[in-house]
Amino acid sequence: MKARVHVMLKNGVLDPQGEAVRHALGAMGFGGVTGVRQGKVIELDLAEGASEADVAEMCEKLLANTVIESYQVEML
């Protein structure tokens, strides 16, 4: 079984990586891009019986820095 975790910077936290992408897209002629936020996606292969709560615990302890990042777990 698989799980997918999205980790994004919380709103209000400065995202220099996303800002750099937005700037680069503008310089390349893609004018219609008004904002970019970049985050991580982590795909986990899990043993049978793993639950969403287990994955949430992994996020809390390792995958996300919950001070500045939010996460979202999706079981596939």
User: Given the rule CB under 8 A, which residues bind a second copy?
Assistant: 6, 8, 18, 21, 24-25, 28, 30-47, 49-50, 54, 57-58, 61-63
Q: How far apart are CA 70 and CA 67, in angstroms?
A: 8
3-state secondary structure of 25: helix
CB neighbour burial string for 16-26, b if at least 16 within 10 angstroms, e if fewer: eebeeebeeee
Closest approach of a second copy to the CB of residue 60, in Å: 11
Looking up tokens 């996460």 gives 71
CB of 66 to a second copy, least distance (A): 16
Give least dist CB 34 to a second copy, A. 5
CB closer to a second copy, 4 vs 67: 4
